Amino acid sequence: MSILTRLPPRRAITRALPILRLAVIAAVLAASHARAAGAPRDWELGFRPPATPVMQRLEAFHDYLILPIIFAIATFVLGLLLYVIVRFSARRNPVPSRTTHNTVIEMTWTIVPVLILVIIAIPSFKLMYYMDAAEHPQMTVKVTGHQWYWSYEYPDQGKLSFDSNMVRDASLKPGQERLLTADNPLVVPANTTITVLVTSTDVIHSWFVPEFGVQEYAVPGRVNHAWFRIERPGTYYGQCNQLCGINHAYMPIEIRAVSKQDFQSWLKGAKQKFAEDAPKSGLRLAAVTTASGMSGGTSAAIRH
């Protein structure tokens, strides 16, 4: 018997209060920590805070429909299991019944799951169509996956395109996120509906940004699309989440959502900067394409 059960109830509560208080503070801290913007931290639970209408809907779908159904089913099955263990144990039920069929039960356990699936399917399809294509896109960016970096193109903004490589540990500046910081992040205007076209030049990659609710396969010879509308300016991170070779973990996605004015001034600078780099990156691309046909580890050396 534990100490708490032997104490009078009021004293038990007084004793438990500080522990409870601590638990509540820890839970609140953990929750607020988990919702902080930026990169993921240790011990977080749940989704990253949504930055786009798509992710808001995905989160609501998960939190208010799927999770309650999961909890209800798990609780019901656990209850049934416990009931059967207790009520039909060998001691309480020495002579088991030999009943085989029961029409009512069999109809119920067929129809109820079908109904549950229909209840999930209707909002699920609605959401999938909503995620599929933006209604009035204002801008397009094209994302190309390579072993092992991303390149970004802005077809609406003239010939702007550049490669985005991971910043290695040795070159990280204070405050930069390890394994998530890119040398040339994708810069986009906030509060703008943006279509993303996703493709690849070598193997299948996947452009995954959790806070946007975007996870799109980058398939050679095919262009997939998704869309996002970032409602809070800020820096967002993602990673390739389709195993694509030895440096799969080292091709992060960094996206900076800035105001429309800041985006225009960034564009001017970027066009100049990447126009100078352009011939070089063309060479690099060719080198990587050749390297991908060879054994995995050599291309990074050729690229640099």
Kind and range of the H or E run holding 189: strand 186-189
Q: Three-class SS string for 119-185? A: HHHHHHHHHHHHHHCCCCCCEEEEEEEECCEEEEEEHHHCCEEEEECECCHHHCCCCCCCCCCECCC
Whose Cβ is closer to Cu ion: residue 180's or residue 258's? 180
Kindly state the smallest distance separating residue 301's Cβ from Cu ion, in Å. 18
Kindly state the smallest distance separating residue 230's Cβ from Cu ion, in Å. 23
Whose Cβ is closer to Cu ion: residue 230's or residue 240's? 240
Contact call for residues 214 and 228 (beta carbons, < 8 A) = yes
What one-character DSSP code corresponds to residue 50?
A: P
Whose Cβ is closer to Cu ion: residue 182's or residue 240's? 240
Site residues for Cu ion per CB under 5 A: 205, 240, 244
Contact call for residues 153 and 146 (beta carbons, < 8 A) = no
Whose Cβ is closer to Cu ion: residue 244's or residue 253's? 244
Kindly state the smallest distance separating residue 238's Cβ from Cu ion, in Å. 11
Whose Cβ is closer to Cu ion: residue 145's or residue 213's? 145
Kindly state the smallest distance separating residue 93's Cβ from Cu ion, in Å. 57
Kindly state the smallest distance separating residue 145's Cβ from Cu ion, in Å. 5
**Half-sphere exposure for 125 (CA within 13 Å, toward CB):** 5
**DSSP β-ladder status, 160-164 and 149-154:** antiparallel
